[in-house]
């Protein structure tokens, strides 16, 4: 009997004992292709020798130094590298240990910016339905993932959600991208006006939506319009790239493909690549200079902020991404993955949409393509696909509630950047088998 509070106590899951490249291996010696990198985490796969060597070396040199006493070499070098990979005005980094912590930190930083800017009344956060920003209370409060919020609703600070930019489901028939952007822009502006725009602290959005709806990229012009509206009312733009950042969509930051600059952004999964728990907030000159000139310092902190071993791991992961030009590799492998998915599923009776960027793709499932009717939620099709795919040696990341938190199913693929064409083909073939067995089985 396990003493762990497992995610699902009624389910027995295998024990993973080894990781090798794109594979995880269990106690029975079964090998699983990590087609989703867990939850879009393992961008370099498993057991990467350079990352392991960097972590060992750091462990033998300095395992921990509290950041109120010392900075550390790996933290400084990692922040330098991240600043070099970012636009010049977005060069300030605050390290944490997870995506949720990064989001909590981003919210507090946005609030402090306004206070230090003399606008003490700004405290409202506006975010979007069908988004996920983490499971801690602040992150959950701005999240639009209904099932994850439901139980904790009485504990959550009040926030306001606007519509997602989810063209496949919510662009009206006959509506152009430009008209859709106009409509969503109007909704955001009206929301600010209703709240009192002088009280709004930030608009928070995932640049490309991950787990909640499945690799949903914004339509052209959407992010730039949201930026314009934020600027008009002095509201900060906070982009959550915890899942879609660090090369996952084919550029180091996902926002590079949107022609916008956030004031604050969050990163986590691909930062440490699973080798260590680490997340980060990156902030603009405007935000950091205002805070430093106001209170003098950011009023925040955790014991493990800037942990040297986590930073050494992330530094080695980031160096590998830069040195091996993995963003370019993600773009070319992503083209292949897109082609394989379209060849396999474009005419599939239960696949309504195939979408994504880079190595971040999803298929959305329907019972009936006529009208794109989802499967009944109680079938829990996504859970069946996850289990069936795993028995066939594929790890993928299905989700439910794609449309509105309750209805709809999708499957997300986010394979390691080092995946070979054969491995990508295996992932697509096996997903097709798992889908058919789950629907008909």
- What is the binding site for ligand PLP (CB under 6 A)? 39, 98-100, 103, 132-134, 206, 210-211, 240, 242-243, 268
CB 24 within 8 A of CB 18: yes
CB of 383 to ligand PLP, least distance (A): 17
CB of 346 to ligand PLP, least distance (A): 27
Backbone angle region of 38, left / alpha / beta, with phi > 0 → left and psi within -120 to 50 → alpha: left
Instruction: Give the nearer residue to ligand PLP in terms of CB position, either 23 or 132.
Output: 132
Instruction: Give the nearer residue to ligand PLP in terms of CB position, either 43 or 340.
Output: 43
Instruction: Give the nearer residue to ligand PLP in terms of CB position, either 129 or 344.
Output: 129
Cβ atoms within 10 Å of 52's Cβ, excluding its own: 13
Partner residues linked to 160 by β-bridges: 126
| Euclidean distance between CA atoms 192 and 124, whole angstroms | 9
CB of 268 to ligand PLP, least distance (A): 5
Partner residues linked to 205 by β-bridges: 239
CB of 137 to ligand PLP, least distance (A): 12
Instruction: Give the nearer residue to ligand PLP in terms of CB position, either 109 or 366.
Output: 109
Instruction: Give the nearer residue to ligand PLP in terms of CB position, either 96 or 230.
Output: 96
| Euclidean distance between CA atoms 385 and 400, whole angstroms | 11
Q: What is the largest distance, in Å, between two alpha-carbon atoms of the chain?
A: 63
Instruction: Give the nearer residue to ligand PLP in terms of CB position, either 253 or 344.
Output: 253
Nearest to 133 by CA among 156, 95, 93, 99: 99
CB of 206 to ligand PLP, least distance (A): 5
Tell me the Cα Rg of the chain: 21
Instruction: Give the nearer residue to ligand PLP in terms of CB position, either 206 or 320.
Output: 206
Partner residues linked to 436 by β-bridges: none
CB 34 within 8 A of CB 22: yes
Q: What tokens appear for 154 in the block?
A: 């009485």
CB of 213 to ligand PLP, least distance (A): 11
Query: Nearest residue by C-beta to ligand PLP?
Result: 99
Residues 6+ apart with CB under 8 A from 235: 126, 192, 197, 200, 201, 202, 203, 229
DSSP 265: E
CB of 265 to ligand PLP, least distance (A): 11
| Euclidean distance between CA atoms 198 and 81, whole angstroms | 36
Residues 6+ apart with CB under 8 A from 174: none
Instruction: Give the nearer residue to ligand PLP in terms of CB position, either 206 or 409.
Output: 206
Instruction: Give the nearer residue to ligand PLP in terms of CB position, either 260 or 366.
Output: 260
| Euclidean distance between CA atoms 35 and 419, whole angstroms | 9
């Amino acid at each position: 009997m396990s003493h762990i509070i497992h995610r699902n106590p009624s389910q027995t899951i295998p024990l993973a004992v080894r990781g090798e490249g794109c594979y995880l291996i269990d106690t029975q010696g079964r090998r699983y292709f990590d087609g989703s990198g867990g939850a879009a985490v393992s961008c370099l796969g498993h057991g990467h020798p350079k990352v392991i060597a960097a972590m060992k070396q750091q462990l033998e040199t300095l395992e921990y130094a509290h950041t109120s006493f010392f900075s550390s070499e790996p933290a400084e070098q990692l922040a330098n590298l991240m600043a070099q990979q970012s636009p010049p005005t977005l060069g300030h980094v605050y390290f944490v240990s997870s995506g949720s912590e990064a989001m909590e930190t981003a919210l507090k930083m946005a609030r402090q910016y306004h206070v230090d800017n003399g606008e003490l009344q700004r405290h409202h956060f506006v975010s979007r339905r069908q988004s996920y920003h983490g499971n801690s209370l602040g992150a959950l409060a701005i999240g639009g993932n209904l099932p994850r919020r439901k139980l904790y609703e009485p504990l959550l600070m009040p926030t306001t959600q606007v519509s997602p930019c989810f063209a496949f489901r919510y662009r009206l028939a006959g509506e152009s991208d430009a008209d859709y952007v106009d409509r969503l822009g109007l909704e955001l502006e009206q929301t600010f006006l209703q709240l009192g725009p002088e009280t709004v602290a930030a608009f928070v959005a995932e640049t490309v939506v991950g787990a909640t709806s499945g690799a949903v990229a914004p339509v052209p012009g959407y992010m730039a319009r949201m930026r314009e509206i934020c600027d008009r009312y002095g509201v900060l733009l906070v982009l959550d790239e915890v899942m879609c950042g660090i090369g996952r969509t084919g550029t180091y930051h996902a926002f590079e493909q949107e022609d916008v600059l956030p004031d604050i952004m969050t990163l986590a999964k691909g930062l440490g690549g699973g080798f260590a728990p680490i997340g980060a907030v990156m902030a603009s000159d405007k935000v950091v200079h205002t805070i430093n000139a106001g209170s003098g310092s950011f009023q925040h902190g955790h014991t493990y902020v800037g942990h040297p071993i986590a930073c050494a791991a992330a530094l080695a992961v980031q160096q590998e991404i830069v040195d091996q030009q993995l963003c370019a590799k993600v773009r070319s492998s992503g083209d292949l993955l897109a082609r394989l998915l379209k060849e396999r599923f474009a005419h599939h009776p239960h696949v309504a949409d195939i979408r994504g960027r880079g190595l971040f793709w999803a298929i959305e499932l329907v019972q009936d393509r006529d009208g794109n009717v989802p499967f009944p939620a109680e079938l829990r099709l996504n859970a069946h696909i996850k289990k069936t795919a795993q028995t066939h040696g594929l790890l993928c990341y299905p989700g439910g509630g794609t449309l509105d938190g309750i209805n709809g199913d999708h499957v997300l693929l986010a394979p390691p950047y080092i995946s070979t064409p054969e491995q990508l083909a295996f992932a697509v073939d096996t997903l097709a088998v798992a889908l058919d067995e789950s629907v008909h089985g």
